[in-house]
Structure 1
Amino acid sequence: MNLKNDIPDFQTIMLPMLKLLANGKQWTLNEVMRALTKHFSLTEEHLKIQVPSKQMGLFRNRVGWTRSYLKKAGLIKYPERGVYQITETGKEFLATNPTKLRMKQLEQFPEYKEWRKTFSDNSTKERPVTRTDDQTPEEVLASTVKELKNELATELLDKLKENSFQYFENFVIQLLQKMGYGEFREDVTQHTGQSGDKGIDGIISQDRLGLENVYIQAKRFTDNSVGSPEIRNFIGSLALQGVNKGVFLTTSRFSSSAIQTAIDSKQQKIVLIDGKELTELAIEYNLGVQVAETIEIKKIDLDYFEE
């Protein structure tokens, strides 16, 4: 008897978990785990089964993915760390007496559509990786890494949106430093902005003498995209400073008109970095993230077997 087969996949857990939170109270992860364990009639032996890395129980890991996708769809929220609560959207969905809730049903929710729009590309879909007969192990691994990276990027973006404007402004300055801008001297960066300002949030020198400066604008938007007016204000601020290089970073996205405004700027060179690219850079340069696990993939040493 394979006990692992008794453990439900994370999509199967979705509706029971949402119904569990239906009373509107705040639930801790341990409370959720106990209730779901009882719901699916799992034993201590089931809970001892771990993911391949041995770092977490398999059922707990699947509950974590369930929680993540319910939040992406706006059905639940995290009032505080490790605490979960149903949203009005979640209550309205349950009022329809649904018989199932899987990835396909999540596509009806605007917040999930927005998340997919932010982290989608032309080569992948933000769906759980499933092994098919036409996929090589390398292809499955690449898809898995991509999905895990998207999940990390989502969490990172959520954290940036939760913190203050000042925190976000400092974050982007640190990121540019890690990318090599102004890394040669301690005093090459200045944090100049105030929350809600329309001016310059930071300055980074590209050379030791400060002859070439990059001016920064950081917008911590939680919902709306950055529009053309914000870009025009930034261009105007650069012109007042007599400089021609600027980087505009946001936790949101740029509207098509904002992108075109930056492109049309003749005197100032404007680089736009949206939430997706921002998190990709932060992950690449290890800002706000850490390595959780390293997997070695070995191949045969052909030279060793040469006679």
Structure 2
Amino acid sequence: MSDLKNDIPDFQTIMLPMLKLLQDGRQWTLNEVMRALTAHFNLTEEHLKIQVPSKQMGLFRNRVGWTRSYLKKAGLIQYPDRGVYQITEEGKQFLANNPPKLRMKQLEQFPKYKEWRQTFNSGNTKEKQATRTEEQTPEEVLASTVEELRNELATELLDKLKENSFQYFEKFVIQLLQRMGYGEFREDSTQHTGQAGDQGIDGIISQDRLGLENVYIQAKRFSNNSVGSPEIRNFIGSLALQGVNKGVFLTTSRFSSSAIQTALDSKQQKIVLIDGKELTELAIEFNLGVQIADTIDIKKIDLDYFEE
């Protein structure tokens, strides 16, 4: 079985064949991709039976999943629908130059991949992790792997929030703040006000039953552009019109340096800024839009048991 496992290509080796597979421009399902790549690498049913250590998925299917994820981060493929993959114009342009290989190092040339790395500070690529494995203790390797899986989950969560409507995003951030304890988990503690004529306020959370302490919310579902100082100034103006001094501005994107400074300079209103990275970290911490897929028990020797 170990010899068969060595025949299964790593996720970087799968990158270029998978991209070439999609170069016809049509939408491919995961099953179609799996069959074509299985044939390309001459894998048998015995190869496909080999599973990841958790036994929850086939090893080859898992590696194809990581390949797909990194190609999407680089903007070379897209997901037009659930479980469906399609090459992008960037992917076609890359293949037009007849590249000899495509691995993590080559992904650095793509702006979308650089942006993802900047957002999640992901210096811990699988390629770098592999070179450090011999220098790390098992605990360090485990922690590094958990961090990478968490970043991957955060990326998928952020993609989902960008794909859904802005109304959905507004309701999501209200639910998140409730999960964090604002409004004391009372169902009647929140108002979703986002609509035409909302004066820049998308939601209100009452921190007490009488509504004496309210937190006002602004949510911006941006795909690429960062939030600038004009949006922050408008939010501050909206808070002033409401006669309140507490506000939370959340976005799926980033805040420009001028936007951050504008919030810091505000004297009358206390403005908290939450960007896409922090938003996903909070959602994962408070289990909103995510679920536990697997647990691992790490055991150690019970020294008390062996005392005579």
Equivalent position amino acid for 1:112 in 2: Y
Q: Aligned residue for 1:304?
A: 305
Unmatched 5+ stretches in structure 1:
none
C-alpha separation between the residues in 2 aligned to 1:223 and 1:287? 23
Q: 1:260 aligns to what? A: 261
Q: Could you say which residue in structure 1 is the equivalent of 2:222? A: 221
Once the two structures are TM-superposed, the CA of residue 196 in structure 1 deviates from its matched residue by 9.2
SS in 1 for 2:182: coil
CA distance in 2, matches of 1:195, 1:145: 42
Give deviations 1:266-291, integer Å, cap 9, x for gaps. 00000000000000000000000000
Query: In terms of mean alpha carbon deviation, does 178-187 or 243-252 score higher?
Result: 178-187
How far residue 195 of structure 1 moved from its aligned partner, in angstroms, is 6.5
Aligned to 1:21: 22
SS at match of 1:2: helix
Structure number with the higher helix fraction is 2
- Contact 1:251 / 1:275 at 8 angstroms: preserved in 2? yes
Moved more, 208-217 or 184-193: 184-193
- Give deviations 1:217-263, integer Å, cap 9, x for gaps: 00000110000000000000000000000000000000000000000
Shift of 1:186: 2.1
Determine the C-alpha separation between the residues in 2 that align with 1:250 and 1:189. Answer: 19
For residues 189 and 165 of structure 1, what CA distance do their matches in structure 2 show?
17
Partners of 2:162 and 2:24 in 1: CA distance: 27
Structure 2 match to 1:280: 281
Cα displacement string for residues 89-130 of structure 1 (whole angstroms, at most 9, x for unaligned residues): 00000001100000000010011011111111xxx5141132
Corresponding residue number in structure 2 for 1:127: 125
- Matches of 2:290 and 2:211, distance apart in 1: 31
| Residue 212 of structure 2 is aligned to residue 211 of structure 1 | yes
Letter in 2 for 1:56: M
Shift of 1:187: 1.1
Q: Say yes or no: does 1:56 pair with 2:57.
A: yes
Summarize the alignment of residues 137-216 of structure 1 with structure 2, pairs less than 5 Å apart.
137-194=138-195, 199-216=200-217
Identity across matched positions, percent: 87
> Is contact 2:178–2:185 with CA below 8 Å preserved after alignment?
no
SS at match of 1:85: strand
Shift of 1:194: 1.5
Aligned partners of 2:45, 2:59: CA distance in 1, in Å?
Answer: 12
* d(CA) in 1 for partners of 2:281, 2:192: 23
- The equivalent residue for 2:37 is 36
Which region of structure 1 is more displaced relative to structure 2, 61-70 or 195-204? Answer: 195-204
TM-score of the pair, normalised by structure 1: 0.97
Give, in whole Å, the separation in 2 of the partners of 1:304 and 1:291: 32
Unpaired segments ≥5 residues, structure 2: none
Partner residue of 1:89? 90
Give, in angstroms, the shift of residue 305 of structure 1: 1.0
Q: Give the TM-score, by structure 2 length.
A: 0.97
Q: CA offset at residue 206 of structure 1?
A: 1.4
Aligned residues of 1:116 and 1:126 also touching (Cα < 8 A): no
